[in-house]
């Protein structure tokens, strides 16, 4: 029996975005299929956030397009956007509200019926015990987990995480990392996360796309890339991206 074709959840087709003379994203093409966890890896300024912002329709590409579940982003794809959960540019929540109330608000804005997911999502991110505590009393790790809960409350098929472990201590990093792996394994959520940490991507992702100066320099399944390199992925990453800014650890 022929194997079923993997379902394309996200396609970047020749995506290009310029800011003046800077080409933030340069002819970037990538296909992400259902259930895959992709790491968008690159040094500072490589174009990761711009790519994510284009996926979410927050910036308009100068050329190329983003297609989510077969629908081009930015051309009447609002219904499709409801299937995307995202954390972009750090945790954002009302600090004078509790975690649960923030999620209530978020659920209302996301889609009908999302409110019924609140308790399950709080449980999933390990915030159920602190759900009634004001966000102003949360640690950064708790805020990051709340941000993940906000992204998950609409029951997304595609989760986009911009630097999800930024600023966290090793314990917080481990918690978020485990959560991401669990979400992918148990919930079959397709995930694209950006990171400048190779180690992070190796730990959490099954696929990696390395970008530098807006260009895709290497992509594929992590084990396949590992088997192709004589040294390790870190050597390759430094070689491909210059990586002299000390961001790789
Ligand atoms: P970092 O890891 O430091 O967050 P990044 O990989 O996310 O970097 P981007 O933030 O996408 O990279 O930036 C890519 C390039 O585009 C950089 O040269 C940046 O200075 C530039 N850039 C990004 N946003 C803007 C903007 N709004 N206006 C002008 N230039 C921008």
Pocket probe for ligand 1: among 16, 17, 23, 24, the residue whose CB has the most ligand atoms within 8 Å is 24
Give me the percent of the chain exceeding a pLDDT of 90: 43
The top-scoring range by mean pLDDT among 131-135, 150-154, 163-167, 235-239 is 131-135
Q: Is 49 in the pocket of ligand 1 (CB under 6 A)?
A: yes
**209 in helix, strand or coil?**
strand
Long-range contacts of 185-190 (CB under 8 A, 24+ apart): 188/34, 188/35, 189/35, 189/156, 189/157, 189/158, 189/159, 190/9, 190/10, 190/32, 190/33, 190/34, 190/35, 190/36, 190/37, 190/157, 190/158, 190/159
Quote the ligand 1 centre to 171 CA distance (angstroms): 29
63-72, 189-198, 230-239: the lowest-pLDDT one: 230-239
Task: Give 163 Cα–ligand 1 centroid separation in angstroms.
Answer: 14
Closest approach atom of ligand 1 to CA 211:
6
Give me the chain's average pLDDT, please.
86
Alpha helices in 190-232 (DSSP H): 198-204, 222-228
């Amino acid at each position: 029996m022929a194997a079923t074709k993997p379902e394309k959840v996200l396609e970047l087709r020749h995506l290009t975005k310029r800011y003046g003379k800077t080409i933030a994203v340069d002819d970037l093409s990538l296909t992400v299929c259902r259930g895959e966890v992709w790491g968008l890896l690159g040094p500072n300024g490589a174009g990761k956030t711009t790519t994510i912002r284009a996926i979410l329709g927050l910036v308009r590409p100068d050329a190329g397009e983003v297609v989510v579940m077969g629908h081009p982003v930015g051309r009447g794809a609002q219904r499709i956007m409801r299937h995307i959960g995202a954390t972009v540019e750090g945790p954002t929540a009302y600090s004078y509200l509790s975690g649960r109330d923030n999620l209530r608000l978020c659920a209302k804005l996301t889609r009908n019926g999302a409110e019924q997911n609140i308790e399950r999502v709080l449980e999933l991110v390990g915030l159920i015990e602190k759900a009634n505590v004001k966000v102003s009393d949360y640690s950064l790790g708790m805020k990051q987990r709340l941000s993940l809960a906000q992204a998950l409350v609409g029951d997304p098929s595609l989760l986009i995480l911009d630097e999800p472990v930024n600023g966290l201590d090793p314990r917080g990093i481990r918690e978020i990392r485990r959560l991401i792996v669990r979400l992918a394994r148990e919930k079959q959520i397709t995930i694209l996360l950006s990171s400048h940490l190779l180690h992070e991507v190796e730990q959490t992702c099954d696929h990696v796309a390395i970008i530098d100066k807006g260009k895709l320099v290497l992509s594929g399944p992590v084990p396949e890339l590992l088997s192709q390199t004589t040294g390790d992925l870190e050597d390759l990453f430094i070689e491909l991206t210059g990586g002299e800014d000390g961001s790789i650890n």
